[in-house]
């Protein structure tokens, strides 16, 4: 991102600018982190970010995140307006049966399928985030 002052960004307009699922767009950067928005529906892949936490904010819809933790598997449900941080090294799988829109904060360059992941189906975009617009 530029060091020049920028204009405010409408998250609704950013989300309206694309239709691709599981294909985040970078709306801005904060220090060395991307702020990304994504439209999701169905299931993502089980994956792990070895070196970073992953922050989720549900803008629309509802997101379930399945987690594989040392004490076993569990799921967390994030209704609209909820936030959750998946700790680094935790295997997780986001799921949105009815669809959702998300804001995700991750270090610039972080792959949407993490450092280790299940086989990636064709509908999942393996990306470090696309430029908005």
> What local confidence, expressed as pLDDT, does residue 79 receive?
98
Predicted confidence band of residue 2 (pLDDT cuts 50, 70, 90): very low
- Model pTM? 0.85
Query: Pick from 117, 128, 122, 71: which is nearest to 94 by CA?
Result: 117
Q: What are the residue boundaries of the structural domains of the chain, listed by start?
A: 35-131
Mean pLDDT, residues 55-77 taken together: 96
Look up residue 36 and give its two tokens.
Answer: 């990304």
The third-level CATH classification (topology) of the domain covering 35-131 is: Jelly Rolls (2.60.120)
Residue 131's pLDDT is what?
Answer: 77
Q: Is 86 exposed, middle or buried (0-12, 13-18, 19+ CB in 10 A)?
A: buried
Buried b (16+ CB within 10 A) or exposed e, 47-63: bbbeebebbbbbbbbbb
Tokens of 2: 């530029």
């Amino acid at each position: 991102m530029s060091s020049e002052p920028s204009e405010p960004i409408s998250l609704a307009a950013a989300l309206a600018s694309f239709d691709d699922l599981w294909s985040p767009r970078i709306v801005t950067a904060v220090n060395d982190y991307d702020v990304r928005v994504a439209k999701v529906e169905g299931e993502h892949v089980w994956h792990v970010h070895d070196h970073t936490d992953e922050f989720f904010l549900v803008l629309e819809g509802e997101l379930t995140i399945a987690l594989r933790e040392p004490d076993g598997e569990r799921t967390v449900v994030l209704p609209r307006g909820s936030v959750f941080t998946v700790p680094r090294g935790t295997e997780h799988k986001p799921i949105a049966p009815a669809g959702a829109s998300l804001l995700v904060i991750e270090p610039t360059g972080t792959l949407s399928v993490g450092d280790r992941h299940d086989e990636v189906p064709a509908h999942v975009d393996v990306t470090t985030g696309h430029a908005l617009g």
